[in-house]
Amino acid sequence: MAKHDSKSGTTVNKAPKTTRHYTVGYTPNQGIKKPAPQLIIKGYWLEELGFLTGQSVTVNVEQGRLIIQAEGNV
């Protein structure tokens, strides 16, 4: 019989992370008084969601929200 505090050898897959946090930065300004904001999103998780290098995307813009969709095949 197994001890009370023993663990089975079965590993449980963790649920995919559905929320990511980034900070809006700015494009290097090279003397411009008001540099343009930029958001860089990167990580292998993008590929896992179907966003491949070289693939086109569509960005739908709403107040306070960006919706990014992968387009077709590469």
Q: Could you read off the pLDDT tens digit of each residue along the chain, which spans 74 residues? A: 556 665 666 656 666 678 899 999 988 877 778 888 999 999 999 999 999 999 999 999 999 999 999 998 66
Instruction: Locate the domains of the chain by residue range.
Output: 41-74
DSSP 3-state of 45: helix
Of 13, 22, 23, nearest to 48 by C-alpha is: 13
pLDDT of residue 6: 59
pLDDT of residue 56: 96
pTM of the shown model: 0.64
- The torsion defined by the Cα of 21, 27, 32 and 34, in degrees rounded to 10, comes to -20
Chain CA centroid to CA 19, Å: 8
